[in-house]
Amino acid sequence: MRRPYHHGDLRESILAAAMVKIETDGLVALSLRDLARECGVSPSAPQKHFATKQDLMKALALRGYAELGVVMADLKLALPVDRALTKFCKAYCAYVAEHPVLAQLMQSRQFDDDVEMLDGAARQAFAPLEEVLDLARARGEIVNNRKQVDTFVHVVMRGLGASVSSGSLGAVDDAVSRTVIRFVLNGLRPR
């Protein structure tokens, strides 16, 4: 008697194959049918986990934020704020350089129905930085307006990340990170 095929963790296999696919061939090449073939399952099998390509891309974006969160937590950011921001900047840019298409997907706004879920995942990933900024704000080292600080820092970092992921900036070294953070801190210092 023939035993039914059991794949194991098909969801994880599809996500892993999709991560490789988007970074080598771009989002346009992403196909649930092709991923099923790569994973050795029927063309309809991935639909048990991802009803549409859009669902798969959302899962990839969430996975990207989860991975980025681990990277940020491992930094063990602490005051002084300039050192923490520089460390964050370098790590964030390294992640984006390693996963440029994923980073662009994470920053896109194509998931209108799930924007709150993705914003929550982003907040979780950037929580270590937020904690340091809260401490710096409490000590009077930066302006005491959380929304203004968060918006400014995130716009600069996402802009820097977009420049890295698109290839227009190239690698971000220590000098670039320090320069960017110096300008960020000049904008955040109380006047």
- pLDDT tens, 85-104? 999 999 999 999 999 999 99
When the pLDDT of each residue in the chain is averaged and rounded to a whole number, the result is: 89
Global pTM value: 0.86
- At 189, the amino acid letter reads R
Q: What confidence tens digit (pLDDT) does each residue in 17-76 have?
A: 999 999 999 999 999 999 999 999 999 999 999 999 999 999 999 999 999 999 999 999
105 φ, ψ (degrees, to nearest 5): -65, -45
Q: Which domains are assigned to the chain?
A: 1-51 (1.10.10), 61-188 (1.10.357.10)
CA distance linking residue 138 with residue 37, whole number of Å? 54
Residue 1 has pLDDT above 70, yes or no: no
Q: Please give the structure tokens belonging to residue 95.
A: 């992640």
CA distance linking residue 119 with residue 46, whole number of Å? 26
